[in-house]
Amino acid sequence: MAPHLTRLLVGLKLSLLRNGWRTSLGQRIGMVVGALFGAGTALFGVIAVLALRAADPGWAAFGVLVGGSVLVLGWALVPVLVSGVDETLDPARFALLPLRARRLAPGLLVAGLIGVPGVVTSLLALATIVTWSRGVAPVLLAVPAAVVGVLTCVMVSRLLTTAAARLLAARRSREVGTIITVLLLSTLGLWPTLLSSRSWSVTEADQITEILGWTPLGLPWAAPADAATGHLARGLLRLVLATALLVAEGLLWSVLLDRALVEQTDGGGTRAEVGRRSALDRLPATPVWAVAGRSLRYWRRDPRYFVAVIGIMVSGIVPVVLIQVQSTGTHAVLLAAGPFVGSLLGITTANDLGTDGSAFATHLLVGVPGRVDRLGRALAVLCWGVPLITVIAVAGAVLGGRGELWAGALGAALGGLFGGLGASSVSAALVPFPVAAAGGNPFRSNSGGSARAALGQFAVMGVTSGAALPGVVLLLVAALAWPPAAYVGLVVGPAVGLAVLAAGIVLGGRTLDARGPEILAIVRKPI
Amino acid sequence: MALTGLWKRFGDKIAVAGLDLTVPTGSFFGMVGPNGAGKTTSLSMATGLLRPDAGQVHLLGHDLWADPAAAKRLIGVLPDGVKLFDRLSGRELITYNGLLRGLDRPTVADRAERLLAALGLADAGDTLVVDYSAGMTKKVALACALVHGPKLLLLDEPFEAVDPVSATTIRAILHEVVDGGGTVVMSSHVMELVERLCDHVAIVHAGRVVAAGALDDVRAGSTLEQRFVEAVGAPTGTVDLSWLHT
């Protein structure tokens, strides 16, 4: 019976993939991009692992161990942090069938290997056999170690998702997971610089190898390395331990699975309450300020907006950190922090109707005039954006050692912010695209394969840069030639930005009035 | 409300095929039809959410697609299948709709409290709508449709997922609207409900109205369900399900 069920589950996974391919062009593009990304990772990864064949055993062990541990860690964390990556074989969906975990588990495990991550992991694991083809004993250990390593990857991912299913069903924890992921990813560029800013010695690498090799992450990958350095017994011990760990994880998983099959996991429990009185109630009682107040609440409560703000803050802080670390560069670059962050902030709303999703129907049903919608949302960003950008622009000038140019930096920054908002105001109405709902998988929010939407985003960046240009040019003039130009910039920059913003609100508003139902049809599409 | 010659096609599927419907002012009008008959599509076109391929929509004398602002001012809509701004609490959401409709703050605050109380949402007024149950979401959406005192209510499946106690409340509220001279149009696939509530009905099938008029005229001595099955056509023949007897 069990092999039969396994075949059935593998077949199910394959049909799901096939149907996903057939669903829509967007899905197909997503799958092709995923496959290309996987192929690229596999290609570079396999070449790197094969190259370690020539390295001395110490460095080869270091490379394979670190890579392998990252792999296991990725399998463990990504599905938990990013919900919605792959729910195709969610155990909860089998809850109504009379099945025990023992019968379901092998099939779910094998099915977990099907797909881009599974194939890439398997290829990388196979490549390690070549790395250790330095004698009979290392190869004899490398083959079972690769199998155990791959199975460990899938097992930890299944184990953690099943264990966290209850937790993940709650809205709040899903959102926290998304925020953590985006934070980790947005600081990704920082880590290599920070890590490489100091040189690593051989003994440190050996220490890392030694420690990782005894953790669950590294046990299977370390076994053949021992054999290669002549510690056959230690290698065997690690392999036995890794296998025992795998079996233990399997047993634990099947216990959790049995429980998941009879438990309801539809969230529940957490209910967010808000205070009854709010400062936002003091805003004027007009439709424009009602829209602004609603947007302000969303900037705080919707994780997608919240994440965007975090991302912008990080993008402002990262260069500062980098410049402080690498003390060689000229600090005056920090003058650009304000204009850069200001423009970025302006274009975060470039798809605000897509972020609304079908909730935009409310505005359509009420018949909110387009310019009221556009102006209200822009006001919400200005309320907190102007003070924030002012601080960043002035601080950037001062930290950059050119405090006297604060006016120029601020002028260019506000020009970028206003101009970005103006461009976004039009693009959101003209080229909206559907995005993942709050708490969904943020990485599915691409332009839905629509070239128009992608072009629209480029146009937004172009217009924003154009709007910021006068302020930026005056800032450069002030910095390089004639300092009083900074004060001209403080007037001209925001003035040009405001003109673009006003035009954007009028144009965007007209577009919205003319195309309301069509916009709703686009943004309500599930992705 | 008058819908004339409404057409809507999605790809090669014709969802609404020349639908004509006249709703007398002051009536409690029920639209019934099987799943996929085109009820939601028709109501979307009648409320400004979906642009018809052809046909006209007149609401209280205003041509909706020629002058949307004037028509939308007078109607209240409970749509089906669209989300609300669910990161607001129930109270904030009703208030938002009131302010968008141009009401002043004291009026909105007063009406929001009353609607929350009437619909049994008083305890959940400060809970985010995203954490509401399906029935509570339906009720808060209805409150949003009522806050500005519309003359014409267009409700898509207003009783779906609503518990019996709340259903009684909603019925009373809708009757109050009709008694005050307002018009209520609702869709449902529950015949008994429509038969009990409405004074006028229309049976929609395959994107067309196959029967419409005063409830008693449409029923013509039989039950609405009987007439419905006749109009739509019952499945012919029986399939062998004998294993269900064992």
Q: What is the ipTM of this complex?
A: 0.92
CA distance B46 to B183: 14
Q: Across chain B, what does the average pLDDT equal?
A: 88
* Residue A275 placed within a domain: no
Give chain A positions within 8 Å (CB) of B92: 274, 294, 297
Cα nearest neighbour of A439 on chain B: B130
A272 pLDDT exceeds 50?
yes
Q: Which residues in A have their CB inside 8 Å of a CB on B?
A: 171, 270-276, 281, 285-287, 289-291, 293-294, 297-298, 301-302, 356-359, 361-369, 438, 516-518, 520-521, 524
Q: Give the residue-averaged pLDDT of A472-478.
A: 89
Give chain A positions within 8 Å (CB) of B71: 367
Structure token digits, residue A186: 């947005």
Enumerate residues 131 to 190 of chain B having a beta carbon within 8 A of any beta carbon in chain A: 131, 144
- What CATH number should be reported for the domain holding residue B68? 3.40.50.300
According to the model, what pLDDT value does residue A328 have? Answer: 55
For chain A, say whether B82 makes contact (Cβ under 8 Å).
Answer: yes
* Residue A6 placed within a domain: no
Same domain, A293 and A253: no
Same domain, A115 and A258: yes
Determine whether the interchain pair B85/A362 forms a contact, defined as Cβ–Cβ distance below 8 Å.
yes
If we measure between CA atoms, which residue out of A439, A447, A275, A424 comes closest to residue A343? A424
- Highest mean pLDDT: which of A12-26, A90-104, B7-21? B7-21
| A407-442 per-position pLDDT tens digit | 999 999 999 999 999 999 999 999 888 887 776 555
How would residue A448 be classed by pLDDT, with cut points 50, 70 and 90?
very low
Cα nearest neighbour of B47 on chain A: A365
According to the model, what pLDDT value does residue A441 have? Answer: 55
Same domain, A232 and A292: no
Q: Which of the listed residues A262, A297, A330 is the one where a domain comes to its end? A: A262
Determine whether the interchain pair A517/B48 forms a contact, defined as Cβ–Cβ distance below 8 Å.
yes
Model's pTM, two decimal places? 0.77
Give chain B positions within 8 Å (CB) of A301: 87, 128
Q: Measured between CB atoms, which of A171, A297, A361 is closest to B82?
A: A361
If we measure between CA atoms, which residue out of A465, A295, A280 comes closest to residue A374? A295
- Tell me the percentage of chain A whose pLDDT exceeds 90: 27
According to the model, what pLDDT value does residue A361 have? Answer: 94
Q: Which residue has the higher pLDDT, A137 or A290?
A: A290
Residue with tokens 């307002």: B182
Max CA distance (Å), chain B: 66
Mutation pick from A172, A365, A368 vs chain B, by most beta carbons of B within 10 Å, is: A365
Domain count, chain B: 1
Determine whether the interchain pair A365/B72 forms a contact, defined as Cβ–Cβ distance below 8 Å.
yes
How would residue A198 be classed by pLDDT, with cut points 50, 70 and 90?
low
CA distance A275 to A476: 47
Residue with tokens 């040019």: A473
Domain count, chain A: 2
* Residue A8 placed within a domain: no
According to the model, what pLDDT value does residue A182 have? Answer: 67
If we measure between CA atoms, which residue out of B36, B31, B34, B35 comes closest to residue B15? B36
* Structural domain for A351, as ranges: 286-523
Same domain, A73 and A189: yes
Same domain, A172 and A33: yes
CA distance B128 to A405: 46
* Residue A281 placed within a domain: no
User: Which stretch of DSSP H or E encloses residue B240?
Assistant: none
Structure token digits, residue A453: 């939407």
* Residue A2 placed within a domain: no
Q: Measured between CB atoms, which of A272, A276, A364 is closest to B49?
A: A364
A260 close to A91: Cβ distance less than 8 angstroms: yes
* Structural domain for B164, as ranges: 2-245
According to the model, what pLDDT value does residue A200 have? Answer: 62
Q: Give the residue-averaged pLDDT of B177-201.
A: 89
CA torsion sign for B3, B5, B9, B15 is positive
B139 pLDDT exceeds 80?
yes
Q: For residue A153, give Cα distances in angstroms to A44, A222, A246, B211.
A: 20, 15, 10, 62
How many residues make up chain A in this entry? 527
Q: Which residue has the higher pLDDT, A2 or A484?
A: A484
Burial category of A188 from C-beta neighbours within 10 Å (exposed 0-12, middle 13-18, buried 19 and up):
exposed
| B38-96 per-position pLDDT tens digit | 889 999 999 999 999 989 999 988 999 998 988 999 999 999 889 999 899 999 999 99
B217 pLDDT exceeds 60?
yes
* Residue A157 placed within a domain: yes
CA distance A354 to A334: 33
Q: Which residue has the higher pLDDT, B39 or A182?
A: B39
User: Which stretch of DSSP H or E encloses residue B10?
Assistant: strand B2-10
* Residue A21 placed within a domain: no
Same domain, A333 and A241: no
A96 pLDDT exceeds 90?
no
How would residue A337 be classed by pLDDT, with cut points 50, 70 and 90?
confident
According to the model, what pLDDT value does residue A51 have? Answer: 87
A352 close to A377: Cβ distance less than 8 angstroms: yes
According to the model, what pLDDT value does residue A116 have? Answer: 82
Same domain, A426 and A298: yes
For chain A, say whether B68 makes contact (Cβ under 8 Å).
Answer: yes
**B210 φ, ψ to 5°?**
-100, -20
**B30 φ, ψ to 5°?**
-110, 130
Structure token digits, residue A43: 């290609």
Same domain, A363 and A432: yes
If we measure between CA atoms, which residue out of B73, B103, B79, B151 comes closest to residue B64? B73
Beta strands B208-214; B200-205: pairing state = antiparallel
CA distance A340 to A328: 22
Same domain, A422 and A373: yes
A169 pLDDT exceeds 50?
yes
According to the model, what pLDDT value does residue B36 have? Answer: 82
* Residue A229 placed within a domain: yes
B31 close to B204: Cβ distance less than 8 angstroms: yes
Same domain, A116 and A176: yes
Same domain, A222 and A116: yes
How would residue A447 be classed by pLDDT, with cut points 50, 70 and 90?
very low
Same domain, A445 and A488: yes
Q: Report which residue type is found at B229.
A: V
